[in-house]
């Protein structure tokens, strides 16, 4: 194809946005981000686009391309049909700053509150020996480039399905990377259950589907974490023990814990093309009932 | 819009949040300073994230013959002895501790069979030396430092561009910039300022660098009266992607060659045999057979007496070799050469080079486990930069520090792969400490002259206010600048070309005054480009003028009209500084090399 036809969202939080059409000359191998750069250099010098590396390593250029959360630096123009309009709009889950740029600062606030890495006090570093096969799972989680596409696609965040804190897939992956670190000693189950709101995830795997690093977010990170939380808080023997002794109850659901609740993006109309079951709490999958629903 | 900018005073202000800035900020906070960390992008997106191969440190886990002395020697030899030897010494001695410290902070490096940090071979390193995580070591490093910085309570100012340093004759007093998201001005009064803004790659069109690399720190320091050194030494990485055009310049990690990648021209010739420097030939394999025995041993994690393959020559040499093959008509269809790792088992390649496998599959439809890649040189790294004190990172201006790629001296005329990430950590720690110490000597946060702030704010807004006579567009100026640098100040240089480049840059500087911008201030990339083009014009002029001054070829600086090294130039660095409103180029003698270090270089 000699030209690509792009329809690009332009707007600010103060006014309804519009889609503006551009015809962009195409060179072999061009990606959507190249087309946006061409538009900036030739048609719209002030088109707001966030990007850094153009090599799928920094996770800055996230947007929704024909409705699919994507890295624009990795989405090739040749993947579209000749004459097909390529629609580019900002991530819907986050508040708009301008054009294709959204305010993702909420993610950084959530991250700050995760209990940090804590090596053992009594095991000197010289003695650490880890086998490669034992760290590969953690290395998978640490591949995350923080593009926040998983946060964008997650229906709990996207549709603002809870007014309670929910950290979203990205920070469940980060928590998993810490929890499964070979020598970390901190216990994050209370944090995951309460501030993390892990129970809200009903494992639809949308996050895994959009991950550009191919991290198996749901299977490898979230489900094992849910099991840890369930073992700790919903195991009947442990529950009885806590009742008897009054110990070990991290007392979930501190409503005023100060954890940042996802602000959502009320100013734009609800997306028409999302395929969620609405705002009712999704049915918990069998065998996982204890970790679903409200953490209270 | 209100005129009074927001103010955020700090003991130590760090500008740039890549590996060097983060490590400096962590150290300064650890010493009790109130630290502000400003970055143009979101936290964790800095260029460090693109570093692939690893960080060099003589841990001796894979080959216990390694030591700081050998690392020092390799660094100096790779830098053609133009390095600041004290920096190379500190780096070689302290890098192992800095790597172990990252592990203590949560980094998860690839492991040896006995469970320790694994090290991989790289060009110019005598022994396998690079601690790594597959081919995404930079990401591991930045995430570890980022988490540590957040846990240290450092205040981070994201998506904020600094355009002016506010300084008085006695000392630097603060920094002025604007929020990219709103366009509103902001002032950071500070007792000490650390520049950690990285390189200059965006001055070239074919580059492996991200958009942030526009020479900001070098230009800010230069305008504040600090000196730039060794600016002629721009590293062209030998292997960037050349096809398709949309990804031209994207880095192909040296780890491909470290794992056994072979370079061939269109005739199938393994051409690197022809380009090994005579005085170093004994460090490389003599035959294909010896090279493949070395690769087999590496893949199996064994030590070997086979010497390394010719592809692991230093970057300057491999880049010139590829350029020459292409120029003489032996290149690949798209103007590069072939790099082949497909003779190794596919699983091994995918495990060792996961990002490369993905990058070629997704962006070029090439499966590197079944066929060769096409590669060619790409602008990658700036050896030159702000002149600093070896121990502390102090510039020639009181209160102003520089660390990482923005600084000069550590790498001399050519940087070895893997020495950058370790450089960031070693000198990040040292500079953070020195900046904090200097801040504690200052009684209070400096008074910043409101006049200076007003002037900066007026200059910043000028492109919006320009009259209709002003008609220049920053995108066009950027393209013209890249064309000048790419064609006239590239891998091979001549006096005529450099003179022509200086004339064109002067002309572009005049056109810069005529820039006019439309749109609003909030997240306006065209406006952002205005000051980046100013910075790139300054550093480009320094590159061209320094390259003209150095009438010899050494390391990454190759003059067709002066093809050999000149012993007189072996003893001096070039220095660029602002004199009046003109750039002045001078030379300064290389620091004296102590006898005990000289002996390390001359042995073997």
Here the CATH number for the domain that contains residue B488 is 1.20.58.100
Residues in B touching A45 (Cβ below 8 Å): 473-475, 517-519, 524-526
- pLDDT given at position A288: 37
Which one of A81, A102, A123 terminates a domain? A102
* pLDDT tens for each residue of B378-399: 999 999 999 999 999 999 999 9
Q: Which helix (H) or strand (E) holds A6?
A: strand A3-10
A238–chain B Cβ distance below 8 A for any pair: no
Residue B572 has a pLDDT of 97
Which residues of chain B make contact with A14, given a CB cutoff of 8 A?
none
Residues A201 and A70 in one domain: no
In terms of domains, do A110 and A232 share one? yes
- Comparing alpha-carbon positions, the chain A residue that sits nearest to B364 is A29
pLDDT number for residue A285: 34
Q: Name the least confident of A97-106, A287-296, B485-494, B556-565.
A: A287-296
Average pLDDT over residues B106-132: 96
Each residue's pLDDT tens digit in chain A (296 positions)? 589 999 999 999 998 899 999 999 999 889 999 999 999 999 999 999 999 999 999 999 999 999 999 999 999 999 999 999 999 999 999 999 999 999 999 999 999 999 999 999 999 999 999 999 999 999 999 999 999 999 999 999 998 877 789 999 999 999 999 999 999 999 999 999 999 999 999 999 999 999 999 999 999 999 999 999 999 988 887 777 777 776 554 444 444 567 788 876 544 443 334 333 333 333 333 333 333 333 33
Residues B340 and B465 in one domain: no
Residues A203 and A81 in one domain: no
Query: In this structure, is residue A241 part of a structural domain?
Result: yes
Same domain, yes or no: B244 and B373: yes
Specify the number of domains making up chain B: 2
B residues 203..242 contacting A (CB < 8 A)? 210-212
Instruction: For residue B100, give the nearest of B119, B72, B86, B87 by alpha carbon.
Output: B119
Check which CATH number belongs to the domain holding B284 and give it: 3.90.700.10
Chain A positions touching B464 (Cβ under 8 A) are none
Q: Is residue B36 part of a domain?
A: no
pLDDT beyond 70 at B20 = yes
The pLDDT tens digits for A50-70 are: 999 999 999 999 999 999 999
A126 and A85 fall within a common domain: no
CATH number at residue A207: 1.10.1060.10
Q: What ipTM, to 2 d.p.?
A: 0.93
> How far A279 CA sits from the closest chain B CA (Å)?
32
* Surface of B (528-557) touching A: CB under 8 A: none
* Contacts B475 to A, Cβ<8 Å: 40-42, 45
Residues B468, B351 within the same domain = no
- What pLDDT is stored for residue B530 in this prediction? 97
Q: Domain for residue B271, yes or no?
A: yes
pLDDT digits (tens, 9 = 90+) for B82-96: 999 999 999 999 999
Q: Cα–Cα distance between A256 and B547 in angstroms, integer?
A: 62
C-alpha B565/C-alpha B550 separation (Å) is 10
Whether B246 is in a domain gets the answer: yes
Cβ-Cβ pairs closer than 8 A, A with B, add up to 161
Contact B398, B106 (CB under 8 A): no
- Say whether pLDDT at B1 is over 50: no
Count of helices and strands (H, E) across chain B: 16, 21
B516 belongs to a structural domain? yes
Specify whether A62 is located in the same domain as A162.
no
Q: Could you tell me what percent of chain B has a pLDDT over 90?
A: 92
Digit-coded pLDDT (tens) for B231-250:
999 999 999 999 988 889 99
| Residue that is last in its domain, among B316, B349, B377 | B377
Would you place residue B517 in the very low, low, confident or very high pLDDT band (cuts 50, 70, 90)?
Answer: very high
Told to judge if B257 belongs to the known catalytic residues of this protein, a careful annotator would answer: yes
The answer to whether residue A152 is domain-embedded is: yes
Q: Looking at the structure, do residues A235 and A113 belong to the same domain, yes or no?
A: yes
Do the domain assignments include residue A296? no
- Per-residue pLDDT at A296: 32
Q: Are B342 and B369 in contact (CB under 8 A)?
A: yes
Q: Is B250 within the bounds of a domain?
A: yes
Closest chain B residue to A124, measured at CA: B104
For residue range B300-345, what is the model confidence (pLDDT) as tens digits?
888 899 999 999 999 999 999 999 999 999 999 999 999 999 999 9
Mark whether B366 and B467 lie in a shared domain.
Answer: no
pLDDT of A247: 59
Residue B463 has pLDDT above 70, yes or no: yes
Query: What is the mean pLDDT of the segment spanning B422-440?
Result: 97
Do residues A49 and A190 both lie within one domain?
Answer: no
Domain span at residue A45 reads 3-102
Convert the pLDDT of each residue in B246-303 to its tens digit.
889 999 999 999 999 999 999 999 999 999 999 889 999 999 999 999 999 988 888 8
pTM score of the predicted model:
0.93
Residue A92 located in a structural domain: yes
pLDDT in tens, B519-542: 999 999 999 999 999 999 999 999
Using one digit for the tens of pLDDT, what is the confidence trace for B160-210?
999 999 998 889 999 999 999 999 999 999 999 999 999 999 999 999 999
B518 and A CB contact within 8 Å: yes
Whether residue A118 is found in the same domain as residue A199:
yes
Last-in-domain residue among A84, A102, A120: A102
At residue A277, the pLDDT reads: 34
Q: Say if residue A94 is in the same domain as residue A182.
A: no
Is the distance from CB of A67 to CB of A147 less than 8 angstroms?
no
Could you say which residues from 44 to 103 on chain B have a Cβ atom under 8 Å away from some Cβ of chain A?
Answer: 44-47, 49-50, 100, 103
Decide if A55 and B134 are in contact by the 8 Å CB cutoff.
no
- A36 shares its domain with A111: no
User: Which chain A residue has the Cα nearest residue B359?
Assistant: A55
Judgement on whether residues B368 and B268 belong to the same structural domain of the protein:
yes
Domain end, chosen from A102, A118, A151, is at A102
The shortest C-alpha distance from B115 to chain A (Å) reads 4
- Catalytic annotation present for B237: yes
Radius of gyration of chain B (CA): 23
**Are residues B374 and B332 in contact, defined by beta-carbon separation less than 8 angstroms?**
yes
> Which residues, 6 or more positions from B285, have their beta carbon under 8 angstroms from its beta carbon?
B291, B294, B306, B307, B308, B309, B310
A119 vs B contacts (CB less than 8 Å):
104, 106
| Domain span including residue B288 | 239-377
Q: Nearest chain B residue to A182 by CA: give it.
A: B108
Quick check: B524 contacting A, CB < 8 Å? Answer: yes
pLDDT at res. B603: 58
Q: Name, in order, each residue with C-beta under 8 angstroms of A259's C-beta and a sequence gap of 6 or more.
A: A110, A113, A165, A194, A195
Let me know whether A208 and A92 are in one domain.
no
| Structural domain count of chain A | 2
Q: Read off the CATH number of the domain in which A33 is found.
A: 3.10.20.30
Averaged pLDDT, B416-445? 96
Q: Are residues A38 and A134 both part of a single domain?
A: no
Q: Which of B362, B254, B264 is nearest to B313 (CA)?
A: B254
Q: Minimal Cα distance from A119: which residue of B?
A: B104
In this structure, is residue B394 part of a structural domain?
no
Collapsing DSSP to helix, strand or coil, B350 comes out as helix
């Amino acid at each position: 194809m000699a030209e690509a036809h792009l329809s690009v969202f332009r707007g600010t939080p103060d006014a309804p946005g519009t889609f503006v059409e551009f015809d962009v000359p195409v060179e072999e191998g061009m990606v959507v981000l190249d087309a946006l750069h061409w538009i900036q250099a030739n048609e719209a010098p002030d088109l707001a686009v966030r990007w850094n590396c153009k090599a799928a390593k920094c996770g800055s250029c996230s947007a929704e391309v024909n409705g699919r959360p994507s890295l624009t630096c990795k989405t090739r123009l040749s993947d579209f049909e000749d004459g097909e309009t390529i629609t580019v709009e900002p991530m819907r889950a986050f508040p708009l700053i301008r054009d294709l740029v959204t305010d993702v600062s909420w993610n950084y606030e959530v991250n700050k509150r995760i209990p940090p890495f804590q090596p053992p006090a009594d095991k000197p570093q010289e003695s650490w020996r880890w086998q490669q096969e034992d760290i590969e799972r953690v290395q998978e989680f640490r591949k995350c480039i923080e593009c926040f596409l998983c946060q964008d696609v997650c229906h709990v965040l996207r549709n603002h399905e809870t007014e309670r804190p929910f950290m979203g897939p990205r920070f469940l992956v980060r928590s998993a990377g810490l929890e499964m670190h070979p020598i970390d000693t901190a216990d994050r189950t209370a944090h995951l259950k309460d501030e993390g709101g892990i129970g809200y995830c009903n494992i639809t795997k949308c996050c895994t589907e959009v991950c550009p690093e191919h991290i198996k977010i749901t299977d490898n990170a979230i489900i094992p974490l849910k099991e840890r939380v369930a073992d700790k808080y919903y195991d009947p023997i442990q529950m009885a023990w806590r009742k008897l002794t009054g110990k070990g109850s991290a007392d979930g659901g501190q409503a005023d814990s100060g954890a940042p609740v996802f602000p959502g993006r009320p100013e734009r109309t609800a997306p028409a093309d999302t395929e969620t079951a609405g705002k009712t709490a999704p049915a918990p999958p069998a065998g996982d009932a204890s970790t679903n629903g409200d953490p209270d | 819009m209100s005129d009074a900018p927001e103010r955020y005073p700090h003991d130590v202000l760090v500008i740039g949040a890549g590996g060097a800035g983060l490590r400096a900020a962590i150290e300064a906070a650890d010493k009790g300073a109130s630290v502000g960390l400003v970055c143009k992008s979101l936290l964790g997106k800095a260029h460090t994230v693109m570093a692939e191969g690893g960080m060099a440190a003589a841990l001796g886990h894979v080959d216990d013959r390694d030591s700081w002395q050998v690392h020092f020697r390799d660094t100096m030899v790779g830098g053609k002895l133009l390095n600041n030897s004290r920096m190379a010494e500190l780096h070689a001695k302290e890098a192992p501790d800095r790597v172990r410290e990252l592990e203590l902070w949560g980094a998860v490096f690839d492991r040896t069979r006995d469970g320790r940090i694994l090290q991989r071979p790289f060009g110019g390193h005598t022994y396998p030396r690079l601690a790594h995580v597959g081919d995404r070591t930079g990401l591991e490093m930045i995430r570890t430092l980022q988490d540590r910085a957040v846990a240290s309570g450092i205040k981070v100012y994201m998506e904020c561009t600094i355009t002016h340093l506010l300084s008085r004759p006695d000392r630097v007093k603060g920094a002025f910039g604007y929020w990219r998201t709103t366009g509103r001005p902001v002032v950071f009064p500070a007792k000490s300022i650390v520049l950690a803004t990285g390189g200059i790659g965006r001055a070239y069109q074919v580059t492996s660098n991200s958009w942030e690399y526009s020479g900001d720190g070098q230009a800010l320091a230069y305008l504040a009266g600090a000196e730039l050194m060794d600016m002629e030494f721009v590293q062209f990485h030998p292997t960037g992607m050349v096809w398709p055009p949309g990804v031209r310049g994207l880095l192909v990690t040296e780890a491909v060659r470290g794992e056994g990648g072979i370079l061939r021209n269109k005739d199938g010739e393994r051409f690197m045999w022809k380009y090994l420097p005579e005085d170093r030939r004994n460090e490389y394999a003599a035959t294909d057979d010896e090279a493949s025995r070395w690769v087999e041993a590496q893949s199996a994690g064994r030590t070997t007496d086979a010497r390394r393959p010719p592809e692991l020559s230093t970057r300057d040499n491999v880049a010139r070799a590829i350029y020459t093959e292409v120029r003489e008509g032996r290149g690949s269809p798209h103007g590069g050469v072939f790099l082949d790792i497909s003779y190794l088992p596919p699983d091994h390649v995918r495990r060792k080079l996961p990002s490369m496998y993905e990058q070629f599959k997704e962006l070029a439809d090439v499966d590197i486990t079944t066929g060769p890649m096409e590669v060619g040189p790409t602008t990658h790294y700036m050896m030159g930069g702000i002149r600093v004190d070896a121990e502390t990172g102090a510039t020639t201006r009181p209160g102003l520090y520089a660390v990482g790629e923005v600084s000069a001296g550590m790498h001399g005329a050519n940087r070895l792969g893997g020495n950058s990430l370790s450089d960031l950590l070693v000198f990040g720690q040292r500079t953070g400490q020195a900046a904090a110490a200097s801040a504690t000597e200052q009684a209070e946060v400096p008074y910043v002259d409101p006049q200076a702030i007003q002037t900066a704010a007026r200059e910043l807004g000028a492109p919006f206010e320009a009259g209709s006579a002003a008609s220049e567009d920053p995108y066009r100026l950027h393209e013209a600048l890249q064309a000048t640098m790419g064609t006239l100040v590239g891998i091979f240089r001549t006096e005529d070309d450099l003179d022509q480049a200086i004339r064109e840059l002067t002309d572009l500087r005049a056109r810069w005054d005529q820039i006019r911008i439309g749109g609003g201030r909030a997240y306006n990339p065209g406006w952002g480009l205005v000051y980046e083009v100013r910075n790139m014009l300054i550093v480009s002029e320094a590159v061209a003028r320094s390259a003209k001054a150095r009438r010899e070829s050494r390391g990454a600086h190759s003059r067709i009209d002066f093809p050999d090294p000149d012993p007189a130039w072996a003893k001096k660095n070039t220095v660029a500084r602002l004199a009046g409103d003109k750039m002045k180029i001078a030379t300064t003698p290389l620091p004296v090399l102590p006898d005990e270090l000289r002996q390390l270089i001359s042995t073997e």
